[in-house]
Structure 1
Amino acid sequence: MSATRRQVLAGAASVVCLTGDLYATRSRADTPANVVQSTESEIAVSIDNATLGSEDRVARVPVALSVPTNRTIALEYFARERANESNRPGPQANTSQTIARGYLIFQPGEQQKTIEVPLPRPLQPGRSLEVELADYFIYPQHVYASRVGRVTTDDGTPTHPTPRDDLFELPPLPARGTVVFSDDLRDTDFASDSGFRLDGRPCWQSRYSHGRRHDSNQELAYYADPTLNPEAKVWGSDPSTGHRFIQAEYVENGLSDGKGGKLLLGWQKNVPFRYTAAIVTSRTLFNRITTGSYVEFDVKLSKIAGSWPALWLKRVGDGWPPEIDILEAFIKSSAYPADAVTSSIHWLGDKGHRTYGASVPLTHVEPGADIFARFNRFGCFLSERQITYYFNGKPFCAMPNLVGVGPWYMLIDVTVGGVVGQPPDASIFPARMYIASVKVIQFG
């Protein structure tokens, strides 16, 4: 394509991502050969320059990582057209219009992607196009990117970079495994405080191994049990389907301590617990998850602002970290997207507690994905080098296995507050998680 006037996209410097201890070898097939191998890694994101002919209707903008990633990184972009600074005579000229929005998902081994921005018309003199690169639904503990590139009109020799999209497919689920654990949680005595039934058989445990509160997260809810806390329902069954649910509730008068007083938050003076949380763990029931295990939860969530549902694994024993988070939904407001989940790992590195996490739009793997409208299967497969996460049987996210072989047990919970903050409206509670089934398949 020929042109006498070009549009130039100015690239932006990158920002440094999370650092962490990486695995030292790459002998297995689930470790892409070009993934950086070092004890400490910094991954930066950058937008390159590009030029367009004056009649071009698509801007192709290269985005690159400083090294091939060893974990999933999800980015979002917005393209906006606006007037150039020198052509803004008044406040109204500062208005902009979003003309494109999309996602870039870097999977392990990938380093470069191309943003394609369709232009409604050729860029006119005095107008510019801004392409903002940012995290998709930012993982609470760190920031990967926040940069803006600009397309402006300029004269010169056009250059058209060749679009490049690295593609390293995540591994599919293995075949021919053995189901070593399966439960639908429908038994009336499916959970207890001790993790054992009255006849001595193990069951789900209705609390953490260390107790019924999580002050270090500044959570607002007490992990209640209906046997110990009569004012809390905590769990029940859907009368139409029979599916088990657990729930976080609002208790206006606060929870009783059984001694004439109220249970108080440990991190706020004289403030009672007015919310309950619900948790069930397989610590006493099944705690043999290890390398070669696939763990899957079939669940449906509720969009209740201020709630924090999660599906995760904890290593046997009371130490923390490590931790594997299959799903966390940080529901801060009613605007929470219906296809957003966060998957992560926590481990103990040379510099103390470390974490990798990715918030991935599930419509990237399944159009119309909705974690609130229907049941979905969330799982993870633990290999020696990599932990791969699955949505309805399709891989969507991966992290290096920096947490070891375990053994692990499962935790299912819904809490309130913490990283999602104070609920804006207590009247919309309870926040329920419906559970259709839980299973563990062992391969190899």
Structure 2
Amino acid sequence: MTDAAPRLTALATDLLGTPLPVRIRAWDGSESGPPGAPVLVVRHRRALRRLLWKPGELGLARAWVAADIDLEGDLYETLELLAGLPWDRGSAGERSLAAALLSAEYRSAGRDLLALAGPVPPPLPPPEEVRARRGVLHTKARDRRAVSHHYDVGNEFYERVLGPSMVYSCAYWKPGGTLEEAQRDKLDLVCRKLALTEGDRLLDVGCGWGSMALHAARDFGARVTGITLSREQALYARKRVAEEGLADRIEIRVQDYRDVIDGPYEAVSSIGMAEHVGAARYREYARDLFRLLRPGGRLLNHQIARRPEQDESTYRMHEFIDAYVFPDGELSALGTTVGELERAGFEVRDVEALREHYALTLRAWVRRLEEHWDEAVRLTSPGRARVWRLYMAASALAFEHQRLGVNQVLALRPGNGGSPPRPGLPLRTREWKADAGTR
């Protein structure tokens, strides 16, 4: 019989309480759903077992990573349609798939789904998933493991996704610009906001593959210490530093920010790193960076922000992101970040929102991944490549629909009557927005 797709469509409509906005093509060749709509391909009935054992987002993610399901049609359109369904928890008045499967009211539908799913034992999660995490969040050892999971997947893989700039954070776009130009302009913008001058000491927290350190040393004359918890990143960055002949100006360390004791610095850049700090540790993070700056020193904190919840106790990280992308990552609302920086002693001088810029950046990375798909799979694994494609495309939509933002917060350590502060910021503070370029 070839009736799996119609049965799945009927069951999904019943369990979710709303018609499916996509077509289904099942493992038996059958199809069902709105004509002309994007197609959700269920390649193996094992996908249904994943949903039965873990209803909601994580079960879907496991099926995607394992290639038990796939999408045909425009990736972004399909993700938008699927994201509107109540998989884990419905909005007010709606039920979720997880709740329906566990309720007595829908026991008959659950039995039908079980019959379609085949043998009951749960499939093993794909190997890319982080599991069996125990203990206190954001200890130094646990943070090292989380960073390694995300970043130590092969520098060559990241080259295919990020391009020659090797910058893994939101770029700064202008109309008609390229990804490389936008990343260069972002690094230049950070250096200008920090008012870097010849000989300034810069601490680059979460230095990645060394792009910010190289830009600050080469184009602004700074002396840079870059720190990362990723050994692969550090090796790559040191190689780039040596090739550019900047070893006398740049030091790359494998080091936790909590272990840096060689201040004071004139400036600190933290670009896309604070998302790993955690809410419970954020004030410690802010105080540590404050301690490392001399009076008058600047901090540029570039960080993804979530929308604030009316009840903050209900906030939780998406299961897919936590299990496959950024283990233990936590996003704060912008107001929370600014408040913590101020409580640490900083004077916040400027906040610039770059939300639309991150959506453009993520779409550019997805294009690069798709263009280099066979190489990306060879350099990592099919599952890992599928993780990155899904998370970057879904994140692009989150920025476009204002569910996520990204902000550059410029903060100053005020003078304290000790060593003289640096010259003040320009009276017209957005003067740093001059076109990128060398001095």
Taking structure 2 as the reference length, the TM-score comes to: 0.27
More helix, by proportion? 2
